[in-house]
Amino acid sequence: MEIVLAIAIGALTASGLWLLFRPRTFQVVLGLSLLSYAVNLFIIAAGRLRTDAPPIVGRDGPVDPGLYADPVPQALVLTAIVISFATTALLLVVLLASRGLTGTDHVDGTEEDL
Amino acid sequence: MSGWMQHLTVAPIVLPLAVSALLLAFDERRRALKRVLSLATVGALIGIALTLLWQVSGAAGSGQAAGPHVYLLGNWPAPFGIVLVADHLSVLMLLLASLLGFTALFYAMARWDRAGPRFHVLFLLLLAGLNGAFLTGDIFNLFVFFEVLLAASYGLVLHGAGMERTSASLHYITINIVTSLLFLIGVAMIYAATGTLNMADLAERIPLVQAGDLALLESGAAILGTAFLVKSGIWPLSFWLSRTYAAAVPPVAALFAVMTKVGIYIILRLSWLLFGDTSGGAAGFADNWLIGAGFATMLFGTIGILSARTLTRVAGHYVLVSSGTLLAAIGIGGQALTAALLFYLVSSTLAVGALYLIIEPVERNTDEDDMIAGIAEPVFDDEYTGALEEGEEDEIGIVIPGTIAVLGGGFIFCTLLLSGLPPLSGFIAKFALIDALFRHGAVTPTIWVLIALIICSGLATLIGLTRAGIDLLWTPAEDSPARLSVIEVAPIGLLLATCLTLMIGAGPIFSYMEATAGAIADRAAYVDAVRHAPRAGEVQP
C-alpha cells in the first residue's frame, strides 16, 4: 500500500509541476489541482497508513491508541480540500477575466514571439 | 480575568469577520453606511489592541497577571484544541495592523473604495485574517488564517480591475497557491516527526525528537520556512512582489506593507520558540540561511531602488530591503537585536505605508492620464453599480490650497523616515539596530556586512526618493496642480504623526520592545501559559 501511495503522490506531483510551468492559464489551473491532490495524499501519509481502523475513540475509558487511525491528518485534509477547492474556483474567475481583457489565454497576457 | 473581558482575545478575529458578513447584506449603493460601519470596526480594533497591550504588559495592575493571555477556542484544553495566544509580540503586531488598516481605509474613502465592488467586505476580511495569523498558537490554524487573508488579498489586488491588475493578480494568486501547498507539506512533515501542531507543544517536543527523525523535522521546517519567506519577499522568491504591489490601488498596497511582515513575524516567533538554543539537535536551525538570504534580499532591494523608474517600484523594493534587514537580524539573533528589529519593523512598516499613500497624489500632477487608465471598464456587468466616474471627485472634502507644499512636506518626511536620517524614527531604528549589532559580542565579518548593507540601503533609498522627488515636485507644472482632498491628507498625516510619536516616545516604546524581546526569549513562560491555561468554568488556582 505504501508503494502505491508513494507512486500516486509522485505521479501527481510530477504531472502537476509540469503543467504548472506551461504557458496556458488552464494548464496552470489543472497543474495546481493535481499538486493539491498530491499534497492531500501526502498529509494522509503523514498520519501513518492504516486500513479498517476507526479514527474516533468511544467514551468507555482508556483505549489502546494502536487500534485507531490518527484523526488529525484526516481533519487537516478535509480543511485543505475545501480551501484549495475555493482558491482554485477563484483562480478560474481571474483566468476568465484575464482571457476577456487580453484576448489570449497566455499567462503573461500576451503571446510571446516565437 | 473574568466576565466578557476574557473574550477580548478573540475579538480582533470575530469582530471584523462578523461586520464583513453583515456588510455583504447591504447593497453597494449604501456606501455611507458601509464606510461608517467599517471605519468604526477598524477603530474598535485599534481600541481592542491597545487594551490587550495594556493588559499584557502588566500595566492593568490589580490581580491581573501580566504575560500571555491564552484563549481556548471551544474550551478544549491545549494541546488538543486550538489556542489563541495574545502575548507582547502578537499584540504589537495587532496594533500595527489595525493602525495601518485604519489609515488605509480612511484614505480609500477619498475615492478608491468606489473603484469596484465589495471593497469594505474584503478589507475587513483581510484584517480578520491578519489578526488571526498574529494571534493563533497552532500551525495548522495559522494556515487557515493565512488562506483567509490571502483570499481577501486576491480580491483586493483585483480591486479596480484593469488589464495590469488582472494580469498581476493571476501571477500573484498562482504563486500564493503554490506557496500554500508548500506550507501544507511543511506542516504535514512536522506533524509526522513530532505528532503535534500546537506551537507550545512543539516547543516541548522538538528537543526530544530522535536523531533519526531530525532530518524529517528539519526538512519540514525548511519547507514551511520557504513558504513564509516567499510571503515576506525574500530574494530570489520576490519577483512577484514589486509588480503586484505596484498594480494594486494605493490603500491596498499600503495595507499589503504589513502582509509581508506576517511572514517575518512567523519566522521570528518560530525561530525563537522551536529552534532556540535549548532545542537540542534542531537548535539554531537555518540561522545561516536566514542571514544569507537576508543579505541577498537587501542587496537586490538596494539595486532595485537605484534602478527603479517609478515611485511605486521604489516603494516595492524598499519593502524588500526592510524584509531583508529583518530576516538577517533574526538570523543573527540575540535579545537586544530583537528589540531593535521590532522597533525597525514598526517604523519601516508605517513609513512605507505612508509612502504608498502619498505616491498617488504626488504622481497625479504628472501623469493624470495613466491614473485614469488604471480604472478600466468592468469585466462583469453586475458588479460595477458604483464604479468610479471621473468628475465625481469634486464633491469630497475641501480642496487644500498649496497642494504642492503639503505633498512636498509629506514626501520629505517619508524620505527621511525611510532612508533613516535623523531626527525621525527611521534613524532611531537603524541606530538601535547598529548599536545592538556592535554589542552583540564578537564583531564578526557577518555583522560588518550587515551594518554596511543597512547604511548602503539607506543611502540608496535617499538617492532614489530624492531623484523621484525632484522629478515630480520640482518640475514646473504646465497646468494647475491637481486637487487634493482632506480625506487623502488626513490619513497620511496620521501615519506620519504615528512615526513622530515613535520618535518622541522612543524611550517608553523601546522599553516595550525590550520587554517583547524578553518575552520572545522566555520560551518557558509561553509554553507554561499555554499548557496550564484554565478552562472556562474551572476554578482558577
Contact B351, B322 (CB under 8 A): no
Q: What is the pLDDT of residue B133?
A: 92
DSSP B485: B
Indicate yes or no: CB of B178 within 8 angstroms of CB of A97.
no
Judged by a CB distance cut-off of 8 A, whether residue A82 touches chain B is no
Minimum distance, in Å, between the CA of residue B43 and any CA atom of chain A: 30
Q: Which among B158, B166, B244, B384 is the top mutation candidate for probing chain A, defined by the most A β-carbons within 10 Å of its own β-carbon?
A: B166
Least CB-CB distance to B173: which of A35, A80, A94? A94
Residues 6 or more apart whose CB falls under 8 angstroms from that of B77 comprise B533, B535
SS3 B86: strand
Indicate yes or no: CB of B167 within 8 angstroms of CB of A109.
yes
Judged by a CB distance cut-off of 8 A, whether residue A79 touches chain B is yes
Q: What is the pLDDT of residue B65?
A: 55
Q: What is the pLDDT of residue B34?
A: 84
Indicate yes or no: CB of B181 within 8 angstroms of CB of A100.
no
Tell whether the model's pLDDT for residue B399 goes beyond 60: no
Tell whether the model's pLDDT for residue B448 goes beyond 60: yes
Domains of chain A: 2-51+70-102 (1.10.287)
Least CB-CB distance to A39: which of B181, B376, B379? B181
Cα–Cα dist B152/B127, whole Å: 9
Indicate yes or no: CB of A73 within 8 angstroms of CB of B191.
yes
Judged by a CB distance cut-off of 8 A, whether residue A78 touches chain B is no
- Give the type of residue at B130: L
B50 CB neighbour count, 10 Å cutoff: 15
Determine the Cα angle at B480 with ends B478 and B481, to 5°: 105
Contact B536, B6 (CB under 8 A): yes
Q: What is the pLDDT of residue B394?
A: 45
Q: Which among B141, B167, B189, B197 is the top mutation candidate for probing chain A, defined by the most A β-carbons within 10 Å of its own β-carbon?
A: B167
Which tens digit of pLDDT belongs to each residue from B485-517?
Answer: 777 788 888 888 888 888 888 888 888 888 888
Helix axes B88-108, B335-364, angle to 10 degrees: 0
Q: What is the pLDDT of residue B282?
A: 63
Judged by a CB distance cut-off of 8 A, whether residue B177 touches chain A is yes
Q: Which chain B residues are within 8 Å of A25, Cβ to Cβ?
A: 170
Minimum distance, in Å, between the CA of residue B162 and any CA atom of chain A: 8
Judged by a CB distance cut-off of 8 A, whether residue B161 touches chain A is yes
Indicate yes or no: CB of A91 within 8 angstroms of CB of B173.
yes
End-to-end Cα separation, chain B, in angstroms: 13
Q: What is the pLDDT of residue B478?
A: 55
Q: What is the pLDDT of residue A33?
A: 92
B36 CB neighbour count, 10 Å cutoff: 10
Indicate yes or no: CB of B173 within 8 angstroms of CB of A39.
no
Q: Which among B154, B178, B223, B380 is the top mutation candidate for probing chain A, defined by the most A β-carbons within 10 Å of its own β-carbon?
A: B178
DSSP B480: P
Tell whether the model's pLDDT for residue B387 goes beyond 70: no
Judged by a CB distance cut-off of 8 A, whether residue B187 touches chain A is yes
Cα–Cα dist A107/B377, whole Å: 21
Across B353-359, average pLDDT: 86
Least confident of B72-81, B331-340, B367-376, B445-454: B367-376
Contact B349, B265 (CB under 8 A): no
| Contacts with A, B 98-157, CB within 8 Å | 140, 144, 147, 150-151, 154
Indicate yes or no: CB of A76 within 8 angstroms of CB of B140.
yes
Chain A residue at shortest CA distance from B146: A83
Region for B351 from its dihedrals, namely left if φ exceeds 0, alpha if ψ lies in -120 to 50, beta otherwise:
alpha
Which tens digit of pLDDT belongs to each residue from B177-215?
Answer: 999 999 999 999 999 888 888 888 888 888 888 878 888
Indicate yes or no: CB of B191 within 8 angstroms of CB of A95.
no
Contact B410, B354 (CB under 8 A): yes
Indicate yes or no: CB of A101 within 8 angstroms of CB of B166.
yes
Least CB-CB distance to B184: which of A39, A101, A102? A39
Q: What is the pLDDT of residue B388?
A: 47
Cα–Cα dist A103/A114, whole Å: 18
Judged by a CB distance cut-off of 8 A, whether residue A9 touches chain B is no
Least CB-CB distance to B192: which of A46, A98, A101? A46
Judged by a CB distance cut-off of 8 A, whether residue A94 touches chain B is yes
Written as nine digits, the cell of B213 is 527523525
Cα–Cα dist B342/B330, whole Å: 10
Which tens digit of pLDDT belongs to each residue from B82-133?
Answer: 888 888 889 999 999 999 999 888 888 877 777 777 888 889 999 999 999 9
Contact B305, B314 (CB under 8 A): yes
Chain B residue at shortest CA distance from A108: B167
DSSP collapsed to 3 states, B359-382:
HHHHHHCCCHHHHHHCCCCCCCHH
DSSP B496: H
Contact B45, B15 (CB under 8 A): yes
Tell whether the model's pLDDT for residue B396 goes beyond 80: no
Least CB-CB distance to A94: which of B166, B188, B376? B166
Q: Establish, for the pair of chains A and B, how many residue pairs have beta carbons separated by less than 8 Å.
A: 97
Cα–Cα dist A95/A106, whole Å: 10
Per the prediction, chain B carries an average pLDDT of 81
Indicate yes or no: CB of A86 within 8 angstroms of CB of B151.
yes
Across B363-380, average pLDDT: 49
Indicate yes or no: CB of A25 within 8 angstroms of CB of B170.
yes
- Give the type of residue at A100: G
Judged by a CB distance cut-off of 8 A, whether residue B167 touches chain A is yes
Q: What is the pLDDT of residue A16?
A: 94
Residue of B407, B425, B510, B536 whose CA lies nearest to B468: B407
Backbone angles phi, psi at B86, to 5 degrees: -105, 100
Give the model's confidence band at B63: pLDDT under 50 very low, under 70 low, under 90 confident, else very high: very low
Q: What is the pLDDT of residue B257?
A: 85
Q: What is the pLDDT of residue B483?
A: 65
Least CB-CB distance to A32: which of B154, B166, B177? B177
Cα–Cα dist B362/B305, whole Å: 18
Q: Which among B122, B149, B177 is the top mutation candidate for probing chain A, defined by the most A β-carbons within 10 Å of its own β-carbon?
A: B177
Cα–Cα dist B512/B207, whole Å: 30
Judged by a CB distance cut-off of 8 A, whether residue A84 touches chain B is yes
Q: Which chain B residues are within 8 Å of A101, Cβ to Cβ?
A: 162-163, 166-167, 376, 379
Cα–Cα dist B305/B320, whole Å: 10
Across A85-106, average pLDDT: 85
DSSP string of B124-159, one letter each residue:
HHHHHHHHHHHHB-BHHHHHHHHHHHHHHHHHHHTT
Is the ipTM higher than 0.85? The answer is: yes
Burial class of residue B417, CB neighbours in 10 A (0-12, 13-18, 19+): buried
Give the model's confidence band at A19: pLDDT under 50 very low, under 70 low, under 90 confident, else very high: very high
Give the model's confidence band at B26: pLDDT under 50 very low, under 70 low, under 90 confident, else very high: confident
Q: What is the pLDDT of residue B187?
A: 92
Q: What is the pLDDT of residue A66?
A: 76
Which tens digit of pLDDT belongs to each residue from A23-77?
Answer: 888 889 999 999 999 999 999 888 778 777 777 777 777 777 777 888 888 889 9
Q: Which chain A residues are within 8 Å of B159, Cβ to Cβ?
A: none
SS3 B345: helix
Give the model's confidence band at B479: pLDDT under 50 very low, under 70 low, under 90 confident, else very high: low
Indicate yes or no: CB of B167 within 8 angstroms of CB of A88.
no
Q: What is the pLDDT of residue B390?
A: 44
Q: What is the pLDDT of residue B475?
A: 67
Q: Between residues B448 and B160, which one has the greater pLDDT?
A: B448
Chain A residue at shortest CA distance from B197: A72
Question: Could you tell me the sign of the dihedral formed by the alpha carbons of B320, B321, B322, B326, in that order?
Answer: positive
Region for B75 from its dihedrals, namely left if φ exceeds 0, alpha if ψ lies in -120 to 50, beta otherwise:
left
Q: Which among A39, A41, A74 is the top mutation candidate for probing chain B, defined by the most B β-carbons within 10 Å of its own β-carbon?
A: A39
Least CB-CB distance to B170: which of A43, A80, A98? A98
Written as nine digits, the cell of B311 is 515611485
